[in-house]
A and B are shown apart, each in its own frame.
Chain A
Amino acid sequence: MGRTVRTETIVLWLCVAVVAVAGFAPIAVMTLESFWRNGYFSLNHYRELISATRFWPLLGNSIRLALATTAVCGLIGVPAGILFAKSDLPLRSGFMWLLTVPFVLPPYFIALGWSRVVAHLGPTSSDWLFGFTGCVLVLSSVFLPITMLLTFASSSNVDRRLEEAARIVSGWPGVVRRVTLPLSAPGIAFSLVLVFLLAMGELSVPSFLRYPVLPVLSFTQFTASYNFGAATAAAFPLAVIAFVGVLAESTFLRDRDYTFRSTGQTLFIPLQRWKNPLVALITALCFALVILPLGSLFVDAFSLAAMHEAIQRAGASVVRSVMYSAMAATILMALGFLLGHFMRGGRQRVLSGFTLALFAIPGTVLSIGLVRLWNTPGTWFIYATPALLILGFTAQYCAVTTRLSLAGLMLIPTSLDEAGRLSGAMWARRLFRISIPLSTRTLVCAWLAAYILCLRDVPIALMTAPPGGDPLSARILTLMANGAPPMIASLCLIMAIASLIPLVILTRVIPSRRITK
Chain B
Amino acid sequence: MSYIDIDRVSKSFGERVAINELSLHVEKSERVVLFGPSGCGKTTLLRLLAGLEVPEQGSIRIDGRVVASAGKNLVPPERRDLGMVFQDLALWPHMTVQQNLMFGLNARRVQKREAEARVREMLQRVGLEHRIDAKPDQLSGGEQQRVALARALVSRPSILLMDEPLSSLDDERKSMIASDLLNLQSQFGFTLVYVTHDRSEADMLGSRVCQMRDGRVTD
* B165 touches A (CB below 8 Å): no
Partner of B90, one of A159, A178, A258: A159
* B78 touches A (CB below 8 Å): yes
B86, A165: Cβ atoms closer than 8 Å: yes
In whole angstroms, what is the CA distance A169 to B92 when docked? 14
**Chain A residues in contact with chain B, CB under 8 A?**
159, 161-162, 164-171, 174, 178-179, 182-183, 185, 256, 258, 261, 517
A169, B104: Cβ atoms closer than 8 Å: yes
A168, B82: Cβ atoms closer than 8 Å: yes
In whole angstroms, what is the CA distance A159 to B90 when docked? 9
In whole angstroms, what is the CA distance A182 to B91 when docked? 14
| B159–chain A nearest beta-carbon distance, Å | 11
Closest to B161 in A: A168
In whole angstroms, what is the CA distance A182 to B90 when docked? 15
Closest to A179 in B: B92
In whole angstroms, what is the CA distance A335 to B79 when docked? 52
Contact-size category for B: 20 to 34
A165, B78: Cβ atoms closer than 8 Å: no
Inside 8 A of B25's CB, which chain A residues have their CB?
none
Given A169-B107, A174-B107, does the pair A183, B94 have CB atoms closer than 8 Å? yes
| B43–chain A nearest beta-carbon distance, Å | 11
| B214–chain A nearest beta-carbon distance, Å | 22
In whole angstroms, what is the CA distance A237 to B52 when docked? 52
Main secondary structure of the interface of B (DSSP, over half): loop
A171, B107: Cβ atoms closer than 8 Å: yes
B78, A164: Cβ atoms closer than 8 Å: no
Between A and B, 25 residue pairs with Cβ closer than 8 Å are A161-B86, A161-B90, A162-B90, A162-B93, A164-B50, A164-B52, A164-B90, A165-B84, A166-B103, A167-B78, A168-B50, A168-B84, A169-B78, A169-B83, A169-B155, A170-B104, A170-B107, A171-B76, A174-B107, A179-B92, A182-B94, A256-B94, A261-B88, A517-B53, A517-B54
Per-residue interface assignment for chain B, residues 49 to 68, with 1 indicating a CB less than 8 Å from any chain A CB and 0 otherwise: 01011100000000000000
| A144–chain B nearest beta-carbon distance, Å | 26
Inside 8 A of A164's CB, which chain B residues have their CB?
50, 52, 86, 90
B103, A169: Cβ atoms closer than 8 Å: yes
Partner of A178, one of B78, B103, B108: B103
In whole angstroms, what is the CA distance A261 to B50 when docked? 22
Partner of A170, one of B52, B54, B78, B83: B78
| B87–chain A nearest beta-carbon distance, Å | 8
| A355–chain B nearest beta-carbon distance, Å | 27
Closest to B135 in A: A255
Given A174-B107, A183-B94, A517-B54, does the pair A167, B88 have CB atoms closer than 8 Å? no
* B142 touches A (CB below 8 Å): no
B90, A167: Cβ atoms closer than 8 Å: no
Inside 8 A of A261's CB, which chain B residues have their CB?
88
In whole angstroms, what is the CA distance A164 to B83 when docked? 11
B108, A166: Cβ atoms closer than 8 Å: no
* B77 touches A (CB below 8 Å): yes
| B127–chain A nearest beta-carbon distance, Å | 22
| A175–chain B nearest beta-carbon distance, Å | 9
| The 3 A-B residue pairs with the shortest CB-CB distance in the complex, in nearest-first order | A169-B104, A170-B107, A165-B90
Inside 8 A of B108's CB, which chain A residues have their CB?
169
In whole angstroms, what is the CA distance A183 to B107 when docked? 18
| A376–chain B nearest beta-carbon distance, Å | 52
| A126–chain B nearest beta-carbon distance, Å | 48
Inside 8 A of A168's CB, which chain B residues have their CB?
50, 52, 77-78, 82-84, 104
Inside 8 A of B82's CB, which chain A residues have their CB?
168
A258, B94: Cβ atoms closer than 8 Å: yes
In whole angstroms, what is the CA distance A461 to B53 when docked? 53
| A160–chain B nearest beta-carbon distance, Å | 9
Inside 8 A of A178's CB, which chain B residues have their CB?
103, 106
In whole angstroms, what is the CA distance A170 to B84 when docked? 13
In whole angstroms, what is the CA distance A185 to B92 when docked? 14
Inside 8 A of A162's CB, which chain B residues have their CB?
90, 92-93
| B78–chain A nearest beta-carbon distance, Å | 5
In whole angstroms, what is the CA distance A179 to B95 when docked? 9
Per-residue interface assignment for chain B, residues 21 to 50, with 1 indicating a CB less than 8 Å from any chain A CB and 0 otherwise: 000000000000000000000000000001
